[in-house]
Amino acid sequence: MNANTTPARKAAEIRRILKRDGSSRHAQGVQSFFKHEIQSHGWYTGDLRRLARSYRRSIAKDFGIDFLIEVANQLFVGRMLEEKIFAVLLLEKWTDRFDHSQFALFESWIERICSWADHDALTHYLIAPMIASRPERASRVFRWAKSSDRWHRRAACVALVHCTRQRRLFRQVTQLTGLLLKDPDDMVQKGLGWLLRETAKSDPARTVPYLLRIRERAPRLVLRTACETLNPALRRRVLASGGKTTSRTGLGRTSKSGVPLRH
């Protein structure tokens, strides 16, 4: 242990390694997932996760969890994709140890988001588990849903995914859907579709009737995504004559989960 080590210096060390050991060729492949320019060092997720696991263990052992959180806070800035993903990977296994102050910190990171990739990593792997552990935190999503910022509105959806997989907060899911159903932004529509898909998968008995009620008002993108896990007959029923084409597209393609990490 070096007594002169600070979170800023440790974050700078990590940045140097990410830059040095990345792949410019793979960085070009990463760019293909986005319509707008993304700054990437070209790391594969598995390699990045292994490096983060090593740093998480050594930093926590030598300096403690508070120091580790501040290193992550130093990394989740700027526009470099791997630095932000690395920050999430440093902390993802320990969300059960965090309290209100850490939740507030992670919420503040939404202001720093540049793309769906760093958004979904942050929201799905840090914020959503903390809401699942303390469901009263779900009240925050309704404030985000009214934000002029697309990433806050998308976060409102993705933050409830863990809860809905556990068949909890169905009322909040439908309430949120009502707030965002007419949102024209395709990133928000994809987030809402993802949330409804997970809700339909865990609780089809309540979700399918709800989808049938909203299908004439819902954007086609939301309905298509929401129905992905339903059996073909139910999917055809929900999609029949339903859905409006209202999204503002052209922002790139995502994986089905919308997350650049396995989950």
Q: Which pLDDT tens digit goes with each residue over 145-163?
A: 999 999 999 999 999 999 9
| Residue 90: predicted pLDDT | 98
| Residue 124: predicted pLDDT | 98
Torsion of CA 228, 230, 234, 235, to 10 degrees: 10
Pairwise CA distance, residues 152 & 141, whole Å = 8
Pairwise CA distance, residues 172 & 138, whole Å = 8
Token couple for 172: 């909040």
| Residue 246: predicted pLDDT | 54
Average the pLDDT over 8-35 and give the result.
87
Pairwise CA distance, residues 18 & 170, whole Å = 41
| Residue 245: predicted pLDDT | 62
Question: Using 50, 70 and 90 to split pLDDT, how confident is the model at 37?
Answer: low
pLDDT beyond 80 at 3: no
Average the pLDDT over 156-173 and give the result.
98
Question: Using 50, 70 and 90 to split pLDDT, how confident is the model at 105?
Answer: very high
pLDDT beyond 50 at 249: no
If you average pLDDT over every residue of the chain, what do you get? 91
Q: Which residues are bridge partners to 248 per DSSP?
A: 185
Q: Which domains does the chain have, with CATH numbers?
A: 1-91 (no CATH), 98-263 (1.25.10.90)
Average the pLDDT over 228-252 and give the result.
75
Question: Using 50, 70 and 90 to split pLDDT, how confident is the model at 140?
Answer: very high
Structure pTM?
0.89
| Residue 243: predicted pLDDT | 67
Which range, of 8-17, 195-204, 229-238, 252-261, averages the lowest pLDDT?
Answer: 252-261
| Residue 27: predicted pLDDT | 73
Token couple for 139: 């009240």
Average the pLDDT over 89-115 and give the result.
96
Question: Using 50, 70 and 90 to split pLDDT, how confident is the model at 1?
Answer: low
pLDDT beyond 90 at 185: yes
* Helix (H) and strand (E) counts in the chain: 16, 0
- Contact assessment for residue 147 and residue 128, using Cβ atoms and an 8 Å cutoff: no
pLDDT beyond 50 at 256: no
- Report how far apart, in Å, the C-alpha atoms of 234 and of each of 173, 193, 207, 224 are: 20, 16, 11, 12
pLDDT beyond 70 at 49: yes
Q: What is the 3-state secondary structure (H, E, C) of 221-240?
A: HHHHHHCCCCCHHHHHHHHC
- Contact assessment for residue 218 and residue 244, using Cβ atoms and an 8 Å cutoff: yes
pLDDT beyond 90 at 10: yes
Within 10 A of 31 (CB to CB), how many other CB atoms are there?
Answer: 17
pLDDT digits over 207-239, tens only? 999 999 999 999 999 999 999 999 999 999 999
Q: Long-range contacts: 166-175, Cβ < 8 Å, 24+?
A: 166/132, 166/202, 167/202, 167/203, 168/132, 168/135, 169/135, 169/138, 170/199, 170/203, 170/206, 170/207, 172/138, 172/141, 173/199, 174/210, 175/142
- Contact assessment for residue 72 and residue 56, using Cβ atoms and an 8 Å cutoff: no
> In degrees, to the nearest 5, what angle opens at C-alpha 257 toward C-alphas 114 and 148?
40
pLDDT beyond 50 at 263: no
